Amino acid sequence: LRLFSGSSNIPLAQEIARYLGLELGPMIRKRFADGELYIQIQESIRGCDVYIIQPCSYPVNDHLMELLIIIDACRRASARQVTAVIPYYCYARADRKTAGRESITAKLVANLMTQAGANRIVGMDLHSAQIQGYFDIPFDHVYGSPVLLSYLASKQLPDLVVVSPDVGGVARARSFAKKLNDAPLAIIDKRRQAHNVAEVLNVIGDVKGKTAVLVDDMIDTAGTICEGAKLLREVGARQVYACATHAVFSPPAIERLSSGVLEEVIVTNTIPVLPENRFQQLTVLSVANLIGETI
Ligand code: R5P
């Protein structure tokens, strides 16, 4: 078994390697003057089971292309099996056509990875679980919920209500609520007017006087979570916590999240959180052991 890391989250890859008692494999990664990327695996991997760790986070196109090149290099070096470990799957929100003449980019990404030579994929908390079906190769879908739930449970928050920030996230929030001693569930009726602009309308369920925990797969610009938190406070929630697997944190997320509307923001390290993006209310939990165990 050999483990390699792309450049998008080396600290996570190192943690996974430590968990497995392995070293990350040596690899040359260079950029040419025109921006093209050069990858060379620096040891023989002939006949090996190779795992490549590369969440396709910002800058997504660079990290995706880097992953494709590493997969191709491994396949051409006669690896027996190439597994792409993608803790964050880019373009996951482009999982269907919502208007005419659009691309289903999540499917295109699946085609590219398979075409490049991946034999198996390990993904985590996909925006929509059906993305697994975009692949004709085995796909292990790992859930980050065990680490998020055990942290939340350890806080022993009183009068808990789990809140889905939109209708699409109800199944995820319901499963969290069930595992938090069957806590009640509330749903925010969110309507979007444009990409990355969230408009919050209504809360379905009782949150008055309660500790609300908003659960989402990702926090991108933080519009969804912060508008949701504001609304929950307006309708009487005592405290609002936010919990999400993927800390995408595109501007102005940090500004919004650190404004004080949230008691705590709990995320995982599928995407690295830069030191300058850390703020007082932020807690980052590691999913390295979960991924290590899956490998
Ligand atoms: C939407 O369906 C997703 O689950 C997230 O709620 C959304 O992508 C978060 O984006 P933002 O933080 O920019 O509102």
Q: Is the CB of 288 under 6 A from ligand 1?
A: no
ipTM of the complex: 0.98
Q: Where residue 192 falls among pLDDT bands split at 50, 70, 90?
A: low
Mean pLDDT of 211-232: 97
The whole-model pTM stands at 0.95
By most ligand atoms within 8 Å of CB, the mutation choice from 191, 219, 261 for ligand 1 is 219
The model's pLDDT over 236-275, given as tens digits with 9 standing for 90+, comes to 999 999 999 999 999 999 999 999 999 999 999 999 999 9
At 195, the pLDDT band (50, 70, 90 cuts) reads confident
pLDDT of residue 193: 67
pLDDT per position as a tens digit, 118-145: 999 999 999 999 999 999 999 999 999 9
* Per-residue pLDDT at 197: 67
Q: Is the pLDDT of residue 190 over 80?
A: no
Ligand 1 in reach of 198 Cβ (< 6 A): yes
Closest CA to ligand 1's atom 10: 220
Per-residue confidence (pLDDT) for residue 35, from 0 to 100: 96
What is the whole-number distance in angstroms between the Cα of residue 70 and the centre of ligand 1? Answer: 29
The answer, yes or no, to whether residue 21 has pLDDT greater than 60, is yes
Q: State both tokens at 218.
A: 């990702």
pLDDT grade for 194, boundaries at 50, 70 and 90: confident
* Catalytic residue annotation: 190
Q: Is 227 in the pocket of ligand 1 (CB under 6 A)?
A: no
Residue at token pair 């396949």: 75
Mean pLDDT (the chain, rounded): 96
Could you read off the pLDDT of 67-106 as tens digits, one per residue? 999 999 999 999 999 999 999 999 999 999 999 999 999 9
Nearest atom in ligand 1 to 217's CA: 4
Ligand 1 pocket residue status of 95, Cβ below 6 Å: no
Percent of the chain having pLDDT more than 90? 95
Nearest-atom index, ligand 1, CA of 219: 12
